Structure 1
Amino acid sequence: MIHAESEQACPAVPLPASMSAVLAGYEWARDAIGESGGAVYRLHGKARAPDLYLKHGKDAVADDITDEMARLGWLAGHIPVPAVAHFVRTPGQAWLLMTAVHGRTAYQVLKSSPDAHPAVVDALAAFLRRLHAIPVGECPFNSDHAFRLARARTRIDAGLVDVDDFDEERDGWTAEQVWEALQRLLPFTPDPVVTHGDFSLDNLLIHQGEVAGCIDVGRVGIADRYQDIAILWNCLGEFGPSLQRRFLLQYGIADLDQRKLQFHLMLDELF
């Protein structure tokens, strides 16, 4: 679930008492890229014990981790996701311990195996169709664009948007410029489905040619389907327009809605 090249070995961190015994004997590695103020650890190397992943965060990050815990429990009845092994929440902190999903990220597979590109894209499209086919009436979580715009406005006002991480098309823009451009694309008629919210190549695990599961599900909820389509389409651009076209074809889109595509790409810049 973490790129091996981005990991750094680290000592065990202080844990709630209920987790300490469970994690005794594990070796620790931290995701060096980080998690927006939180931390992600891989626990490995314990004899006859599976690898585990631990997310820890404080304050607003703890709220995000709590959201992810709730969504993992619900999603487990619909698509493959990590199982929650243990969860602790205090007023200011959260710890989420999860099982590992077998496989490598879709990004790793595409980067290392050019011959596998068509099959990987087909598997990603099939998995997205499966996710979007979950009846919206069964989903208790809302992630529509009005909800996400409100959160984006809060992030802008708090100075939390990383403008240095904007896509090349918006290089040099301010967060306010992105916000103003978003407003010009409203209103639109949403096509609500159950969305992942960050359906990127790093959040999808491939094993034996199929999507073995998805991770980082804290944004899961009912939203316009282009929330997911736009992010995956954008990620595939690194590997050429032919893969972007193949994804749309396999998903079932004949005419790409450029208005929705641009809206969701710009909205994602603010998170």
Structure 2
Amino acid sequence: MLSDKVRQLVTYDARLRMVVADRPKLRALVERAAADGAIDHASQRALGVALLALGEYEPAAVHLRRAVELAGSPGEVIAARADLADLYRHGGDLPGSELICRMTLELARAQAPELAALPLLRLGWTLAEQGRPDEARQALAEAQQFGEGAEAGLFVDVEGLVVPLPPSVAALLGAEPEWDHDHDGASGSLARAGSYFVRRGPEAVAEHARLVWLREWAGVAEVVAFEGDVLVTADTGVETLADDPGAGAAMGRALRELHAVPVTDCPFDGRLDVLLAQARRNVVEGRVDADDFDDDNLGHTPMQVYERLLAERPDQEDLVVAHGDFTPSNVMANGVLIDLARLGVADRYRDLAIALRDLSGDFGPEAVAAFLSAYGLDAPDEAKLAYYRLIDELF
């Protein structure tokens, strides 16, 4: 089988990254399999792993997602998603890898407990790389209880797996800063180190580009350092609007100003074609937690939500420069905007739907009325509000 041949050519180095013993031979295997047109789950997974080992992450992801779609059992889904977690870890997206591991672990515990070691091992590794050794040891210790399936010499000193900070960031924060993941506005890959906020991975690269571009038109956090895939921003010195009774009017003013930025000048694309493609990837990779859906969507699977999005897609988009995650916790009391990795040209309802949902739930109808007045919208399109709230279920 192709998977056996790939396994013979791939091993792990001291940092638990895939390495290839014979690259020309593995490349020949990949090309032969592609030419043969193998489309079963096992072949797609083997191709994905081979391309991952060769460092070709985008085509590897395509094959691994296809392996998930072709899976005939929960065990096959778990195995392919564990490989996807490896892919994201290799590519530097540690928060993405962690999310896939945790969601895959839930699936394993519910439907195939004997395979829980697969996501647990990878969860331990990605936590270790993020500098969270206690959590990493806990995950690896649990994986080790599963015996043979978790044995491959892959239990190492987790302290040695921490990904070092780039030189300019280490000079600012110290080589081993003390991280705080419990802070105002905490989300995703964001951590605090002293008076700075630090983000790492593809999300950091995306946010840096948007911070640099947007500061001509709007208040944004100051970039203190950026090197490689690590972004450091300064504390704005004020609180977010998450607990502010005046959040409605303040958010309305901030969003009106953001949506007035010229669309033609924005190089970032957040339109429906892009959103729906990412939504499907999130569903296939197991990044979506259906238990966290809004009340009116509980009981539906992520794929059912995705299919509704295709069926109910609006005919037109009213394009503006949209924040992409416009919540009270992402707007500071002084109007500064944070958490901008999703900013791009999109329908204005991408922001309106999330803002109105959160304001209604957190502050009530008066805040909603104040927001609409400040933004300058008398009668929102309820169908589009519902559609863009539905999209958010998959992110």
TM band (smaller chain): 0.7 to 0.9
Aligned to 2:389: 265
Residue 250 of structure 2 contacts residue 371 of structure 2 at CA under 8 Å; is this kept in 1? Answer: no
The aligned residue for residue 377 of structure 2 is 253
Report deviation, 1:80: 0.7
In structure 2, the partner of 1:55 is 199
Given the superposition, is the C-alpha separation of residues 150 and 25 from structure 1 closer, same or farther in structure 2, using an over 3 Å criterion?
closer
Whole-angstrom distance in 1 between the partners of 2:244 and 2:314 = 38
Check conservation: 1:121, 1:246, Cα contact below 8 A: yes
- Residue matched to 2:355: 232
CA contact (8 A) 1:26 1:43 kept: no
Q: Deviations over 1:40-66 (max 9, x none)?
A: 22222xxxxxx211112xxxxx22221
State the superposition RMSD in angstroms. Answer: 2.2
1:103 CA displacement: 1.2
Q: Which moved more, 1:101-110 or 1:64-73?
A: 101-110
- Does structure 1 residue 219 correspond to structure 2 residue 351? no
Are 1:105 and 2:105 matched, yes or no?
A: no
* Contact 2:249 2:371 (C-alpha < 8 Å) held by counterparts: yes
Residues 1:133 and 2:250 are matched in the alignment: no
> Per the alignment, in what secondary structure is the counterpart of residue 104 of structure 1?
coil
TM-score by length of 2: 0.55
1:25 and 1:174 mapped to 2: Cα distance?
43
Which stretches in structure 2 are left out of the alignment for 5+ residues?
Answer: 1-131, 134-161
Higher strand share: 1
Amino acid at match of 2:249: D
SS at match of 1:30: coil
1:25 Cα deviation (Å)?
10
Which residue is equivalent to 2:25? none
Counterpart-to-counterpart distance in 1, 2:233 and 2:293: 30
Q: Is 1:82 equivalent to 2:221 in the alignment? A: yes
Which residue of the partner structure matches residue 244 of structure 1? Answer: 368
> Which of structures 1 and 2 has the bigger CA Rg?
2
Q: Secondary structure at the match of 1:178?
A: helix
Alignment correspondent of 1:180: 307
1:43 aligned partner: 193
- The one-letter code sitting in structure 2 at the alignment partner of 1:106 is L
Tell me how far apart the structure 2 counterparts of residues 26 and 251 of structure 1 sit (CA, whole Å). Answer: 44
Q: Which has the higher helix share?
A: 2
Whether the aligned pair in 1 keeps the contact of 2:252 and 2:370 (CA below 8 Å) is: no
Secondary structure of 1:228's partner?
helix
The CA deviation at 1:76 is 1.0
Give the whole-Å Cα distance in 1 for the aligned partners of 2:225 and 2:168.
9
Distance 1:81 1:163 in 2: 33
Number of matched residues? 232
Higher RCO (Cα < 8 Å, 6 or more apart): 1
What is the CA-CA distance between 1:88 and the residue it aligns to? 2.1
The yes-or-no answer on 1:144 pairing with 2:294 is: no
Is contact 2:249–2:373 with CA below 8 Å preserved after alignment? Answer: no
Identity %: 36
| SS of residue in 2 equivalent to 1:206 | coil
Find the partner of 1:121 among 248, 251, 259: 248
Larger CA deviation: 24-33 vs 226-235: 24-33
Q: Are 1:64 and 2:188 matched, yes or no?
A: no
Which residue of 2 is the match for residue 16 of structure 1?
Answer: 166
Decide whether the 8 Å contact of 2:165 with 2:175 is kept in 1. Answer: no
Give the TM-score, by structure 1 length.
0.79
Point out where structure 1 has 5 or more consecutive residues left out of the alignment.
1-9, 45-50, 57-61, 111-116
Deviation, structure 1 residue 81: 0.7
